[in-house]
Amino acid sequence: MASITLKNIVKKYGDGYPAVNDVSIDIDDGEFVILVGPSGCGKSTLLRMIVGLEDITDGELLIGGERVNEKAPRDRNLAMVFQNYALYPHLTVFENIAFPMRLAKGQFSEDEVKEKVNQAAKLLELTEHLERKPGNLSGGQRQRVAMGRAIVRDANAFLFDEPLSNLDAKLRGQMRAEISRLQRSLNTTSVYVTHDQTEAMTLGDRVAVLKKGVLQQIASPRELYEQP
Ligand code: ADP
Ligand code: ADP
């Protein structure tokens, strides 16, 4: 995993008011940062600039201390954890997690593949499910398979774009607890976008509050909670 540094990041679409306006955030290696704010405040735009799907109008983005403004998404080695998980239904959990290593043809021996997949599965508590297909898994298990895939390819960070927004309240609560537990055991650099206050206050090491493209404050949930 790696640190992510945003230095005075600006995004302008056309000549309107900036969607993201002079945002600076230092995300430490292993830190879990939540971007929160109302619809339209610039959360998705910021995430898409980090991933590389959107050009940065001004400012600098560093991953692991290296400038990546001009780098293509695949060269940034970030893992998006999608709402719909994007797993292969016909492959087992093992093969879904192994997929990035299979793609890197010849780079990994079969023993290495097994070792890495088993290691990730252990971390994510998926060991008993390795021979199952994604269709038979719970939402939380599927999300963990997607994370396993990112772990075996040594992704620099996880990016979450409102991963719980389409779930009903009960499932959302379960998934929130699950992500919170994983966050503590994995130590992965993560950027997590949500408009949900409860998620923001329960999940992150730090919460960055955006309003109309401007960073209002960034602090631990505790500091935010205790302030008047
Ligand atoms: P959020 O994710 O917080 O809902 P967005 O990043 O989607 O906010 O949007 C921030 C602002 O940028 C909004 O005013 C939105 O209308 C505008 N915006 C987002 N995407 C585009 C786009 N592709 N073209 C023009 N304006 C956009
Ligand atoms: P919302 O606005 O509800 O958060 P979107 O449908 O705008 O969701 O999806 C978020 C963004 O993720 C979109 O701009 C989409 O283009 C982008 N996206 C698409 N493919 C990828 C990908 N492979 N990796 C990362 N982001 C992607």
Instruction: Kindly report, residue by residue over 187-205, the tens digit of the pLDDT.
Output: 889 999 999 988 999 998 9
Nearest ligand to the CA of 43 is 1
Six-digit token string for 193: 């976008």
Q: How confident is the model at residue 210 (pLDDT cuts 50, 70, 90)?
A: very high
* Helix locations, 12-92, DSSP H: 43-51
User: What is residue 151's predicted lDDT score, i.e. its pLDDT?
Assistant: 85
How far away, in angstroms, is 227 Cα from ligand 2 center? 34
User: What is residue 4's predicted lDDT score, i.e. its pLDDT?
Assistant: 98
How far away, in angstroms, is 43 Cα from ligand 1 center? 8
User: What is residue 82's predicted lDDT score, i.e. its pLDDT?
Assistant: 65
Q: Considering only CA atoms, which residue is closest to atom 24 of ligand 2? A: 80
Nearest ligand to the CA of 45 is 1
| Rounded distance between C-alpha atoms, residue 37 and residue 54, angstroms | 20
User: What is residue 70's predicted lDDT score, i.e. its pLDDT?
Assistant: 97
Q: Considering only CA atoms, which residue is closest to atom 18 of ligand 1? A: 19
Six-digit token string for 129: 């499910």
User: What is residue 45's predicted lDDT score, i.e. its pLDDT?
Assistant: 96
Residue recorded with tokens 């979450």:
160
Q: Is 161 in the pocket of ligand 2 (CB under 6 A)?
A: yes
Which atom of ligand 1 is the closest one to the Cα of 54?
A: 23
Q: Is 58 in the pocket of ligand 2 (CB under 6 A)?
A: no
User: What is residue 191's predicted lDDT score, i.e. its pLDDT?
Assistant: 95
The string of pLDDT tens digits covering residues 53-111 is 999 999 999 999 999 999 999 899 998 876 666 789 999 999 999 998 998 777 889 99
Is 0.80 surpassed by the pTM of this model?
A: yes
Nearest ligand to the CA of 195 is 1
Q: Residue 150: which residues within 8 A CB-CB, separation 6 or more? A: 79, 81, 158
How far away, in angstroms, is 44 Cα from ligand 2 center? 8
- Span 10-22, average pLDDT: 94
Q: Residue 194: which residues within 8 A CB-CB, separation 6 or more? A: 34, 35, 36, 43, 162, 164, 165, 200
- Span 127-151, average pLDDT: 90
Q: How confident is the model at residue 174 (pLDDT cuts 50, 70, 90)?
A: confident
- Span 119-124, average pLDDT: 90
User: What is residue 175's predicted lDDT score, i.e. its pLDDT?
Assistant: 80
